[in-house]
Amino acid sequence: MIFPIIFFGLIVVLPIVYVIVTYNTLIRLSQMIRESWSNVDTELRRRYDLIPNLVETVKGYAQHEKEVLERIAQIRSNAMANHTDPDTQAQRGNELVRELKTLFAVAEGYPDLKANQNFLQLQEELINTEDRIQAARRFYNGNIRDFNNRVLTFPSSIIASLSNYTPQSYFEIESLDIRKPVTASFK
């Protein structure tokens, strides 16, 4: 009499419990991805808010570097236009970091600017923000990894495909040169 109950439990109840647990795990991981993207987005907005102050400070010293300053302003505007797509944000962020490196290279030619307390403070704040973006990016990518593992591995992949869950993209940096931090050292 006990054998049919155990058999029923193994054949019917256990798979149902597995499906429920797997589906709830996918939902939980999906929510963690949204939360971690929100953290990345917050840090990116912080970066975008710092840039106009930095540009204005440089503008006072480097009048003839107008082209660099205008390009940074345009790239910042483009980057701020899309906060929902990690791939687009990564591309625009990479472009912005490249231009910021150009801005800091321009600042090298202006000793008074390099000594300006406001410029140094803004530059330090930007470096701290870049560190925070990297930490938020690592957290986001960790959540993507966990989610993608569930979506792509068997047997949870069956439940994921039935629930229309697909692998998500990592928030990545495109080139090795971009991976180098923005430096604050002025010689």
Average pLDDT over residues 31-47: 92
Give, rounded to a whole angstrom, the gap between the first and last alpha carbons of the chain: 85
Between residues 44 and 100, the one the model is more confident about: 44
The secondary structure of residue 182, as a DSSP letter, is P
pLDDT category at 178 given cuts 50, 70, 90 is very low
**Secondary structure element (H or E) that encloses residue 57, with its range:** helix 14-61
pLDDT category at 4 given cuts 50, 70, 90 is confident
Between residues 103 and 41, the one the model is more confident about: 41
- Residue 173: the pLDDT is 73
Average pLDDT over residues 94-106: 80
The CA distance from 126 to 121, in Å, is 9
Tokens 């290279």 belong to which residue? 105
Percent of the chain with pLDDT over 70: 86
- Asked if residue 170 has pLDDT above 70, the reply is yes
Between residues 90 and 25, the one the model is more confident about: 25
Q: What rounded mean pLDDT belongs to the chain?
A: 82
Average pLDDT over residues 114-123: 77
pTM over 0.85: no
All structural domains of the chain, each given as residue ranges with its CATH number in brackets, are 2-179 (1.20.1440.20)
Residue 50, both tokens: 């710092």
Burial (Cβ within 10 Å: 0-12, 13-18, ≥19) of residue 164? exposed
- Residue 69: the pLDDT is 78
- Asked if residue 143 has pLDDT above 70, the reply is yes
- Residue 64: the pLDDT is 58
Between residues 18 and 121, the one the model is more confident about: 18
Give the residue among 136, 152, 29, 150 at the shortest CA–CA distance from 86: 136
